[in-house]
Amino acid sequence: MSIIASCSTDHTLSPVALRILRSSSWTGNFSQLKKVIRLAVSKSSERIIRQEITEALSSFVNDDLQPC
């Protein structure tokens, strides 16, 4: 089962969004990828596009950089 399918059966990735995900450095591995996709799914209606992916990535990075 894909990560997107586990979040929603109504969402798909645009080719640009997929390229962004593939070209990103996943320091948190699968866990980080899942969080980014879940956040993008929560912000999109059906098709996950560049904007949702870049916002999710920047949100994750910003959250990750916050002091403890």
- Which amino acid type is present at position 36? V
Domains present along the chain, CATH in parentheses: 3-64 (1.10.8)
DSSP 48: E
CA angle 31, 7, 58 (to 5 degrees): 50
Distance between alpha carbon 62 and the CA centroid of its chain, in Å?
Answer: 14
Radius of gyration, CA atoms only, the chain = 12
- Statement: the pTM of the whole predicted model exceeds 0.95: no
| pLDDT tens digits along 10-30 | 788 888 888 888 888 877 678
Q: For residues 40 and 13, give the distance between their C-alpha atoms in angstroms, rounded to a whole number.
A: 10
| pLDDT tens digits along 35-60 | 888 888 888 877 887 888 888 888 76
